[in-house]
Amino acid sequence: MPVRFTRDEVLEKLWKEIKARKTLFMASCGSGIVAKFLEKAGCDMAGVYNAVKLRAGGAASMTGLWPVSDANGLMFEYASHEIMPVVKNMPVMAGVNANDPTRDIPVFLEDLKRIGIIGVNNFPTVGHIDGNFRNVLEHTGITYDNEIQLLKTAKQMDMVTVAYAFNTSETERIVKGSDPDIFIFHAGVTIGGSIGYDHPDTVEDTARRTQEVYDIARKIKPDIILLTHGAALSTPEDGQKILKLTNGHGLQTGSATERIPLEDAIFKVASAFKNLKL
């Protein structure tokens, strides 16, 4: 049975870590075994998302933005049956699809609170999409503004709010519009592993873009908690470099702590078993 946190308790815990000059760390979990060991490692927060569950099944993270499942239904189903029964004392944040036309969002947020989830993150997000397709989405009612409203509603319901943005303009929009407790700069799909996106961004590129966004968010809301995610952040060494080159409070990971380590470990052990001699 997980501890039922209040919003104030979570924020007090996070700010205590920040004042002690400790790195904040949030990681996604697509299965109970991952959640169990994230908590054992001292992770400050865990995240549950439709994309994470799909990734645990071997799909790429971007599958979470594709119409292959009910995003909110998949997230709620596995969170309630696999994650929350395992977690004991770690706050859990849920990635909620604000553009879901089949749900009354405030009612859905109450359902999340009922199973012990205390925070909300805007994912799946149209922020991951650009070009003409993004224009079509926005003009037909599938909008980033709905995600901003999601976070505003969650905050009014006394939940922790975690805002994702992918560029400087949307950083300004979502921080001004929703006044989030935590802001995460999503620098892009994580590099590495079998289904990562091997883009040319270096750790230094990721850190530079992160700091540009941090400056905007902090100017609007000086007491905002700042984390970064993705792009060239795929190892603890990458994370340390980014922390040195930016003035945020910590990191959020997905593939870097879940998919890539599993791929490496399973391949190594399975290969060793296969190569045993009769």
Domains belonging to the chain, first-starting first, are 21-271 (3.20.20.70)
pLDDT category of residue 191 using cuts at 50, 70 and 90: confident
Q: Do residues 125 and 147 make contact, with C-beta atoms less than 8 angstroms apart?
A: yes
Residue 144, number of CB atoms within 10 A of its CB? 23
**How does residue 201 score in pLDDT terms, banded at 50, 70 and 90?**
confident
pLDDT in tens, 207-254: 999 999 999 999 999 999 999 999 999 999 999 999 999 999 999 999
What secondary structure letter does DSSP report for 195? S
How far apart are the C-alpha atoms of 229 and 190, rounded to whole Å? 8
Q: What is the pTM of this model?
A: 0.94
Can you read off the two tokens belonging to residue 191?
Answer: 């590099």
pLDDT tens readout for residues 122-171: 999 999 899 999 999 999 999 999 999 999 999 999 999 999 999 999 99
Give the pLDDT of residue 151.
Answer: 98
- How much is the pLDDT for 66? 86
Q: Angle at the Cα of 42 (from 39 to 47), degrees rounded to 5? A: 55
User: Is the model's pLDDT at 196 over the cut of 70?
Assistant: no
The answer to whether residues 96 and 117 touch, using CB atoms and an 8 Å cutoff, is no
59 pLDDT exceeds 90? no
Q: Six-digit token pair at 14?
A: 């996070």
Average pLDDT, the chain: 94
3-state secondary structure of 259: helix
State mean pLDDT over 165-193.
94
pLDDT at 22: 97
